[in-house]
Structure 1
Amino acid sequence: MSSDHPPGLDLGRLRQRLDRDRPGLVSGPLTGRLIEGGRSNLTYAVSDGAAKWVVRRPPLGHVLATAHDMKREHRVISALYPTAVPVPRPVLLCEDEDVVGAPFYVMEFVDGTPYRTAEQLAPLGPDRTRAAVLGLVDTLVELHAVDPADVGLEDFGRPEGFLDRQLRRWGKQLDASRNRELAGIDELHAALGRELPTSPAPTVVHGDYRLDNVLIGGHDEIKAILDWEMSTLGDPLTDLGLLVMYSVPLETPDSPVSTTATAAGHPDPAELIERYAARSGRDVSAVSWYTAFAWFKLAVILEGIHYRYTLGQTVGAGFDRIGDLVPVFIEHGLTTLQEG
């Protein structure tokens, strides 16, 4: 439902800022609505009746600046927009907190569908589902083919020691939400540390690359990659590992974790890995490590959600089942590492 007063976005002040910085862009009164989705930052669809835009801002409660940095998100889509990587056209970055109460940015609205579940993919049928998921791999190859220096992103992250830092970071996250015995998780963390691969040349890394973070258009092509809040410069194979992890069917019916892997026509992990290797020219021989790391990372994220649930700090349905999933992710991580 559109309204003149979506929470956290003063449309009158937004209009004034757009008129000041992008004169002539807006041709009528703005309406807007909060779009559901995204784990943290707030996303709004805004329209003047003729054109549509998307506004992104941090959550209403104050948060760590580094975790929700609007400037970083705007910077990466601005850098990638002229390349072959599909991202929305950036419109405006506003770091003045007086306008809507927080920094924000505006980009063009892209028409497309984020597919979150196998049920949502089912109407496409096996052939179109297969094409969409293979397109996800091809688009990842395009992203990793961009030379950061060519698009002004050479200082967008610290690639040296990237995997070691990631592993330590998620180990600390685990310690912060440790409130029960989790068989195998310390073993998985230690094994990942012992077998740290040598990273290839750094690229722009999305950090949360999966089917429901892209918009699929009418011809099943990827119209835009969204949710760049985890992006940085680092090891491109971390994106591949996460994509592979999300392509493994979970034997848990009614899972609260988004998975499309059980959809008819969905390519299996081996085909996705092979396609990425063939199109990118990268050595993927260590892909088991990156996939196991993705299982570990998700186990830690889910345990954090479970911990907040036990403290009564989560709102909504499905949180009661999250805790049961964590051992499944740990087991997958250990198995993947052993098979590698």
Structure 2
Amino acid sequence: MGSTSATRTQDGPPGLDPERLRAFLDRERPGLVRGPLTAELIEGGRSNLTYTVSDGTARWVVRRPPLGHVLATAHDMRREHRVIGALRGTPVPVPEALLLCEDEGVIGAPFYVMGFAEGTAYRSAGQLAPLGPERTRTVVLNLVDTLVALHAVDPAAVGLADFGRPEGFLERQLRRWGQQLDASRSRELPGVDALLAALSGRLPDAASSCAPAVVHGDYRLDNVLIGADDRVTAVLDWEMSTLGDPLTDLGLLVMYSEQRPVPGSPVATTRDAPGHPRPAELVERYAAGSGRDVSALPWYTAFAYFKLAVILEGIHYRYTLGQTVGAGFDRIGDLVPRFVEGGLSTLDQG
């Protein structure tokens, strides 16, 4: 499921016991698995854990929460499973949702199983470079077009009318991420409280906010798979999805598109790939395709900086407790001030 690196062990990677998973699948979906399962942890993500599993003939993907410190509502397997199941058959490409398990006794946490989707997850400018400028441009613009398609889905028509509460969405988002920050505080973070206060004081008017839509919550290039035709074959990592203001997705995409690579940073950035459209062009593409008013986008982009700072701080906190799996976590804490500063700067320019 993409070309991210993977960690594999004979007995199974941390957080997933192949034998226990096989027993569960045999019980719930007899005949689905035809041989012993092997499992690989897909590295590259920094939140929920993603594994590929195979019986030697077929492949599937398993998602579960991270090990250890888990913030309330941030790793809800039921939500992820529900939204990809609802969007299956719409113009938004998603994997097939196969099975949800909320019994923590199976592998130690709730999880779900989905179909394996072919495609490549591009995490860096270096990975995009072999495509050349023209194809890179096409890939990124297709990413924007897929976001337009997502925000055009009628939530009620796909059974997601109760997937969130759009009223007061931005206020609740700020409150929620402030609470997430408080839950992960373990050190001084200069400027982070000033950023939260500035965002709270400059909330976009409810009357001028965009019509609610299904919001992905973490929309960026390395959270989708790209096929051989340069189109999106699957949108992944729906853990933050809800109903709300779609410009939060666009603001996040712009924020990532502004980022220059930092040596040794685990945060994906593709901005410097030859042919990569600049943020302003992405905004124009979205506005033309969606017909939405994007004049308040600087606030949403600053909120994206704050949100990522909180996410990274939470991951840093788990790292300090020894509760992370994979490489690169030792550098995440150093990135948090950069995103706090980015948020403050964006608000000042807005």
TM-score by length of structure 1 reads 0.89
Give, in whole Å, the separation in 2 of the partners of 1:313 and 1:28: 32
CA displacement, residues 86-137 of structure 1 (integer Å, 9 cap, x when unaligned)? 1101111223334333322111111211111111111111111111111110
Give, in whole Å, the separation in 1 of the partners of 2:100 and 2:306: 35
What letter matches 1:110 in structure 2?
A
- Classify 1:17/1:248 alpha carbon distance in 2 versus 1 (closer, same or farther; 3 Å): same
CA displacement, residues 297-328 of structure 1 (integer Å, 9 cap, x when unaligned)? 22333344556667787787655654554443
Question: Which of 173, 191, 214 is the matching residue for 1:204?
Answer: 214
Which residue of structure 1 aligns with residue 248 of structure 2?
A: 238
CA displacement, residues 47-94 of structure 1 (integer Å, 9 cap, x when unaligned)? 122211111223344745633222111111100112111110111122
**1:80, 1:151 within 8 Å by CA — same for their partners in 2?**
yes
The reply to whether residue 48 of structure 1 matches residue 58 of structure 2 is no
Query: What secondary structure does 1:247 align onto?
Result: helix
In angstroms, what is the RMSD of aligned CA positions? 2.6
The reply to whether residue 122 of structure 1 matches residue 129 of structure 2 is yes
Decide which moves more: 247-256 or 100-109.
247-256
What letter matches 1:238 in structure 2?
T
The reply to whether residue 299 of structure 1 matches residue 309 of structure 2 is yes
**1:163, 1:235 within 8 Å by CA — same for their partners in 2?**
yes
Identity rate, percent: 76
Query: What secondary structure does 1:233 align onto?
Result: strand
CA displacement, residues 256-300 of structure 1 (integer Å, 9 cap, x when unaligned)? 422111111110010000000110111111111101111122233
**1:4, 1:30 within 8 Å by CA — same for their partners in 2?**
no
**2:68, 2:318 within 8 Å by CA — same for their partners in 1?**
no
Query: Could you tell me how far 1:233 is from its partner in structure 2?
Result: 1.1
What letter matches 1:230 in structure 2?
M
Give, in whole Å, the separation in 2 of the partners of 1:325 and 1:62: 20
The reply to whether residue 27 of structure 1 matches residue 31 of structure 2 is no
Structure 2: runs of 5+ lacking an equivalent: 1-7
Query: What secondary structure does 1:50 align onto?
Result: coil
- How many correspondences in the alignment? 339
- Classify 1:97/1:302 alpha carbon distance in 2 versus 1 (closer, same or farther; 3 Å): closer
Select the structure with the greater relative contact order (CA < 8 A; seq sep ≥ 6): 2
The reply to whether residue 163 of structure 1 matches residue 173 of structure 2 is no
- Classify 1:336/1:102 alpha carbon distance in 2 versus 1 (closer, same or farther; 3 Å): closer
- Classify 1:178/1:26 alpha carbon distance in 2 versus 1 (closer, same or farther; 3 Å): closer
What letter matches 1:296 in structure 2?
F
Which residue of structure 2 aligns with residue 217 of structure 1?
A: 227
- Classify 1:324/1:74 alpha carbon distance in 2 versus 1 (closer, same or farther; 3 Å): closer
Query: What secondary structure does 1:270 align onto?
Result: helix
What letter matches 2:188 in structure 1?
R
**1:179, 1:307 within 8 Å by CA — same for their partners in 2?**
no
Query: What secondary structure does 1:93 align onto?
Result: strand
The reply to whether residue 101 of structure 1 matches residue 108 of structure 2 is yes
Query: What secondary structure does 1:32 align onto?
Result: strand
Map residues 188-203 of structure 1 onto 2, 5 A cutoff. Answer: 188-197=195-204, 198=206, 199-203=209-213
The reply to whether residue 179 of structure 1 matches residue 191 of structure 2 is no
Query: Could you tell me how far 1:239 is from its partner in structure 2?
Result: 0.4
Give, in whole Å, the separation in 2 of the partners of 1:15 and 1:313: 26
Query: What secondary structure does 2:113 align onto?
Result: strand
Query: What secondary structure does 2:287 align onto?
Result: helix
What letter matches 1:218 in structure 2?
A
Which residue of structure 2 aligns with residue 92 of structure 1?
A: 99
- Classify 1:69/1:135 alpha carbon distance in 2 versus 1 (closer, same or farther; 3 Å): same
Give, in whole Å, the separation in 1 of the partners of 2:141 and 2:211: 24
Which residue of structure 1 aligns with residue 5 of structure 2?
A: none
Structure 1: runs of 5+ lacking an equivalent: none
What letter matches 2:154 in structure 1?
D
- Classify 1:23/1:318 alpha carbon distance in 2 versus 1 (closer, same or farther; 3 Å): closer
TM-score by length of structure 2 reads 0.87
**1:38, 1:227 within 8 Å by CA — same for their partners in 2?**
no
- Classify 1:253/1:106 alpha carbon distance in 2 versus 1 (closer, same or farther; 3 Å): closer
**1:210, 1:242 within 8 Å by CA — same for their partners in 2?**
yes
Decide which moves more: 169-178 or 279-288.
169-178
Question: Which of 5, 8, 12 is the matching residue for 2:19?
Answer: 12
The reply to whether residue 282 of structure 1 matches residue 305 of structure 2 is no
